[in-house]
């Protein structure tokens, strides 16, 4: 199995996991209401679903950017500093990552070499961003940067593209 197949299956798994994770969530009952009377608040569950499904769009586009970053690194031995460099190294069969999507306004590589920033322009995550910082250990992987504004609760069950393991 080649790297492109592995990355594509990782992206598809991330989309499915992010989109479906909100379907089983439960909210805390309102004060004075027992859990037996309100086991599931559909409004809260739907809002969580919206955020997670819109996060999935961003993760898909970030996955395309990560593939182009990997191609660039393989060809040049360093990380690309901007979108143009990353896109030039990508395969013509890879989907373009720069956006916009239905909810995502843009996906950019840089200004830190290899850094991916996903910015949402519409929907439940409008005005939020996800910043993935590259780390080089024995393989290229990404960490969620502290400047990320997507709520931690939304990212908690997300499968981040090429996420670094704790020992990397």
Digit-coded pLDDT (tens) for 8-53: 444 444 443 444 344 434 444 444 444 444 457 888 888 888 888 9
- Of the pLDDT bands very low, low, confident and very high (cuts 50, 70, 90), residue 4 is very low
- pLDDT per position as a tens digit, 102-120: 999 999 999 999 999 999 9
68: nearest Cα among 94, 48, 49: 94
| The architecture CATH gives domain 3-155 | 2-Layer Sandwich (3.30)
What's the chain's Rg over C-alpha atoms?
Answer: 17
Distance CA 71, CA 57 (A): 22
Is the pTM value of this prediction over 0.75? no
For residues 101 and 56, the answer to whether their CB atoms sit within 8 Å is no
For residues 168 and 135, the answer to whether their CB atoms sit within 8 Å is yes
């Amino acid at each position: 199995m080649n790297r492109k197949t592995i990355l594509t299956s990782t992206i598809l798994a991330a989309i499915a996991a992010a989109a479906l994770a909100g379907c089983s969530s439960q909210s805390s009952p309102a004060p004075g209401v027992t859990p037996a009377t309100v086991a599931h608040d559909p409004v809260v569950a739907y809002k969580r679903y919206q955020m997670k499904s819109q996060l999935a769009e961003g993760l898909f586009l970030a996955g395309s950017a990560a593939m182009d970053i990997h191609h660039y690194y393989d060809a040049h031995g360093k990380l690309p500093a901007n979108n143009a460099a990353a896109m030039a190294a990508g395969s013509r069969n890879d989907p373009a990552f720069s956006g916009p999507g239905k909810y995502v306004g843009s996906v950019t590589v840089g200004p830190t070499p290899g850094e991916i920033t996903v910015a949402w322009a519409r929907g439940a995550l409008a005005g939020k961003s996800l910043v993935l910082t590259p780390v080089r250990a024995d393989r290229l992987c990404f960490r969620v940067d502290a400047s990320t504004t997507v709520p931690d609760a939304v990212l908690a069950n997300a499968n981040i593209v090429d996420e670094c393991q704790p020992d990397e």
